[in-house]
Amino acid sequence: DAFVNDKVPDAYDKLVDLLLASKQYGERWARRWLDLARYADTNGFEKDRPRQIWPYRDWVVRALNADMPFDQFSIKQLAGDMLPKPTPEDLIATGFHRNTMLNEEGGIDPNEYRFYAMVDRVSVTGTTWMGLTMNCCQCHTHKYDPILHTDYYRTLALLNNASEPTYFIPTPEIEAQQKAQAEKIAQLEAELPAKFPGGKAAMESRFAGWTEGESHRASKWEVIRPTGMKTTMPHLEQQADGFILGSGDITKSEVYDLSFKAPIKGVRALRIEVTSHPSLPNDGPGLTNYEGPLGGFFLSELQASQNGERVKIARAEDTNDDEDDRISDATASAPKGKAKAAAKPKKKNNAAATIDGEMSSGWQVLGGYGVQHAAVFHFDQPVDLTNGFDLKMLFEKHFACPLGHFRISVTTSDHAEATRLPAEVEVALASGDKTKHEILLRHFLETAPEMQKAAAPLLATRKNPPRGQPTLVMNERPASNPRITHRYHRGEYLQPKEEVTAGVPAFLPALPKGAPANRLTFAKWHFAPENPLTARVTVNRQWQAFFGRGIVKSLEDFGYQSDPPSHPELLDWLAVEFVKQGWSMKKLHRLIVTSETYKQCSRITTELGEKDSENILLARGARFRLDAEVIRDSALKAAGVLSPKMGGPGVYPPQPASVTSEGTYGKVEWKTSEGEDHFRRSLYTFTKRTAPFAMATTFDAPTGESCLAKREVSNSPLQALTLLNDQMFMEAAQAMAKQVIAESQTDDERLQNIFRRVATRPAAPDELAMLKAFLQKQRDKKVEGEALWTDVSRAALNFDEAITHP
């Protein structure tokens, strides 16, 4: 009404500016971008488990609302982690290429499916920014295809050097919580001595006795650092504290070969300490990142040798063992199947199982924050490390499961054992160092049986550190550990051939001279002045969004197989204007919608229908069916129930329970959201790839399994039935009926109210007559009250005008 009653000449322009400035602008246009990003809330494939990546979706909304220049918007998504001093927002943006699907089916090779994910990323990058179909060249060179087979893998190499961690988003609120927790821990630690039963004298007496007893049990361990480290796939890096940190790709049959040389003689035992680390999946201490327990490890066998000869390990124990199951006399050098019966461990997943010659058993530790375990391996005879010493770790399971954060130490003590004592506590006990009194006392107070209740709040506080919302990001691997890319014969993972260097297809402008051939350079290359594609591809996609057809009809393909542009000069001019205006998407949209071409009436005459049925000549306004999300959101808005809440995890609006309970892996229950989340914008609906939201699928919304530049538009009876009978549309009609009854008195007023809500204009006399006839028909069926007006609202939501642009 405000727009209709505004008689100033620039009323239309004012309305456009108002819409561009609204928060809903970002929500509306984010959906289009997320089609390209193949966004979904689950991993896909058979198990299709949920994933945490909605912060990326919210980042897209924020960026579009802020009118972030499209070049920066793109560079951050392709290589935000490589920008100088990347911010949390820059890292979140890299979720674009973390939207690839993840196969967690038992028995697969994770590196094979990582290869398929890279193939997907090359294809998506080509479609999104270059308008090129980079698919056929994966297998071989085609006669008329300018992208050569080798060029394809050179492009893949540009994207292939990233690791894929989970990032916990820091916020001022989280930092404040962390500070408050640190202060609370300090306070609880300071209060512990006063809580000891019997007072200070009793505490000192008990502490002295504990110290003396533990000193006899403690062994003096000395950390040894490898002089050489080899693995099947992961990268191992020595840390300052002696720990070894693993990263990179892993395989099911992983082997760590570690070499040592140290001036230590008479070594009786070796210890492996494992602890969690924030860079590892689920904080480690293992590298398991699919199928198995996330962040855990499974050490199948441990073998020691010197100068090529096996060193016998007599027994092993770990901190997971029960007291009566701690020691095993398994012999590493015994032939398979010949070990003593007494040597067989009672458990299959303890350290003793790593020296039994069986790959099916081993030492297993599950992942999680604060995990700290150790295993001790006792040599049959003292070992002299001055002559060199080799350690081989074998990790073999039906899933990849190597260690991720561990430290090796040795002792000359003949009574060493695996204890849960922290390393610094055991060293202090073994050395008798009086300066470590505070360390010992703190540990005693936290673990003494009589302090169990008093120490519980402190231990609980430490166990649950405040952490930000997790999301999936990319992180460039260090230059010291680049991932090698090969050409794959016929595009088959099992046929890697020669190594390739990173680069772009030869028929396109080359990467800048002197710049490193990496993701960041590649991202910036798309926006170089000499690159002819990115601006044209982008403005063509935007044109299609407003007119239903691109200037180049094939949005995803600007190559030889595409349709020629209907208006080549217009495409060039729009691209140049887009760049001139600082790659501003809002300015481009304003330019299009304020044009006389866009403001034309969409009414089609017989003459136009015969001469230009597809409206290629743009002699009339565009008319096409709305996207699924717009149809649903418009209905909720008309009913007055659409929630304005923005962002956050995916929600579960009403839909038939059978959508997820039947035909999906495991038992998947769709728990309908309540309260404000019941009627959120469709952008925030939880998207399960193998069981997408029913209403959205009916109206051709994508599943997130692949990149989609343009949605198909179907026309089926099921769509009309959905608008009439779907639970959400029924609830919207009921809400509309209640409001109309409360707001209007006469039949005519109520009918006009419903029509205006749905069509955003008054009903014409013939349209009002049609509604009156339907109203009377329902009354003849004895339908009255709220049910009567619900029926009218349902009919109105089925109008062609309710689902069609304009």
Helix or strand (DSSP H, E) at 230: strand 228-231
256 vs 334, which has greater pLDDT? Answer: 256
Distance of CA 381 to the CA centre of its chain: 50
Smallest Cα–Cα separation from 738: which of 750, 724, 747? 750
Band (pLDDT 50/70/90 cuts) for residue 348 is low
182 by DSSP, 3-state: which? helix
Q: How far is CA 628 from CA 573, 676, 723, 760, in A?
A: 32, 21, 11, 19
Buried b (16+ CB within 10 A) or exposed e, 396-413: bbebbbbbbbbbbbbbbb
Q: 681-695: per-residue pLDDT in tens?
A: 999 999 999 999 999
Residue 338 reports pLDDT greater than 70: no
Distance of CA 74 to the CA centre of its chain: 18
Judged by average pLDDT, the poorest of 154-158, 244-248, 295-299, 320-324 is: 320-324
Percent of the chain with pLDDT over 90: 80
Residue 642 reports pLDDT greater than 50: yes
647 vs 320, which has greater pLDDT? Answer: 647
Q: What is the DSSP string of 413-449?
A: -SS-----S-HHHHHHHHHT-GGGHHHHHHHHHHH-G
Distance of CA 691 to the CA centre of its chain: 19
Band (pLDDT 50/70/90 cuts) for residue 324 is very low
Mean pLDDT score, 555-571: 93
User: What per-residue confidence (pLDDT) applies to 663?
Assistant: 64
399 vs 490, which has greater pLDDT? Answer: 490
Judged by average pLDDT, the poorest of 185-189, 548-552, 663-667 is: 663-667
Helix or strand (DSSP H, E) at 32: helix 24-36
Band (pLDDT 50/70/90 cuts) for residue 337 is very low
Judged by average pLDDT, the poorest of 633-637, 643-647, 654-658 is: 654-658
Instruction: State both tokens at 537.
Output: 């591809």
Q: How far is CA 493 from CA 102, 116, 413, in A?
A: 16, 8, 50
Q: 379-416: per-residue pLDDT in tens?
A: 999 999 998 999 999 999 888 899 999 999 999 998 88
User: What per-residue confidence (pLDDT) applies to 110?
Assistant: 86
269 vs 144, which has greater pLDDT? Answer: 269
Residue 326 reports pLDDT greater than 70: no
User: What per-residue confidence (pLDDT) applies to 596?
Assistant: 96
Distance of CA 614 to the CA centre of its chain: 40
User: What per-residue confidence (pLDDT) applies to 666?
Assistant: 67
Check the CA dihedral 740-744-747-749 and report its sign.
Answer: negative
- The CB density around residue 694, as the number of other CB atoms within 10 Å, is 18
Burial of 651 (0-12, 13-18, 19+ CB in 10 A): buried
User: What per-residue confidence (pLDDT) applies to 106?
Assistant: 80
* Residues in the chain, overall count: 806
User: What per-residue confidence (pLDDT) applies to 6?
Assistant: 82
Mean pLDDT score, 301-321: 92
User: What per-residue confidence (pLDDT) applies to 14?
Assistant: 94
Q: How far is CA 123 from CA 509, 618, 756, in A?
A: 19, 32, 45
Band (pLDDT 50/70/90 cuts) for residue 343 is very low
Question: Can you tell me the distance from the alpha carbon of 632 to that of 694, in angstroms, rounded to the nearest whole number?
Answer: 12
Judged by average pLDDT, the poorest of 31-35, 198-202, 488-492, 656-660 is: 656-660
Mean pLDDT score, 732-750: 97
Residue 330 reports pLDDT greater than 50: no
Residue 623 reports pLDDT greater than 70: yes
**Torsion of the alpha carbons at 426, 429, 432 and 435, rounded to the nearest 10:** 80
Check the CA dihedral 402-406-412-414 and report its sign.
Answer: negative
Band (pLDDT 50/70/90 cuts) for residue 800 is very high
User: What per-residue confidence (pLDDT) applies to 345?
Assistant: 41
Judged by average pLDDT, the poorest of 42-56, 60-74, 364-378, 730-744 is: 364-378
Helix or strand (DSSP H, E) at 390: strand 389-396
Residue 699 reports pLDDT greater than 90: yes
Backbone angles phi, psi at 377, to 5 degrees: -120, 120
Q: How far is CA 522 from CA 83, 380, 509, 688, in A?
A: 13, 57, 11, 32
Amino acid at 530: E
User: What per-residue confidence (pLDDT) applies to 321?
Assistant: 56
- Strand intervals (E) in 261-388: 267-275, 297-299, 301-306, 309-311, 313-318, 363-365, 372-383
pTM score, whole prediction = 0.91
Question: Can you tell me the distance from the alpha carbon of 370 to that of 321, in angstroms, rounded to the nearest whole number?
Answer: 19
Q: In the structure, how many helices (H) and strands (E) does the chain have?
A: 26, 22
Q: 212-263: per-residue pLDDT in tens?
A: 888 877 888 999 999 999 999 999 999 999 999 999 899 889 999 999 999 9
User: What per-residue confidence (pLDDT) applies to 434?
Assistant: 72
Residue 340 reports pLDDT greater than 90: no
In the chain, what are the domain boundaries? 2-166+481-611, 219-420, 628-698+715-806
Band (pLDDT 50/70/90 cuts) for residue 336 is very low
Helix or strand (DSSP H, E) at 253: strand 253-260
Residue 652 reports pLDDT greater than 80: yes
User: What per-residue confidence (pLDDT) applies to 292?
Assistant: 81
Helix or strand (DSSP H, E) at 244: strand 244-247
- Pure H helices in 679-762: 694-698, 717-725, 727-743, 747-759
Q: 471-481: per-residue pLDDT in tens?
A: 999 999 988 88
Band (pLDDT 50/70/90 cuts) for residue 342 is very low
Mean pLDDT score, 697-724: 96
Smallest Cα–Cα separation from 152: which of 129, 177, 173, 121? 121
Distance of CA 92 to the CA centre of its chain: 9
The residues, any chain, with a CB within 8 Å of residue 617's CB and separated by 6 or more, are: 566, 611
Work out the mean pLDDT of the chain and round it to a whole number.
Answer: 92
Band (pLDDT 50/70/90 cuts) for residue 323 is very low
Band (pLDDT 50/70/90 cuts) for residue 489 is very high
Q: How far is CA 486 from CA 370, 483, 492, 494, 732, in A?
A: 39, 10, 11, 11, 55
Cis amide prior to 285 (ω within 30 degrees) = yes
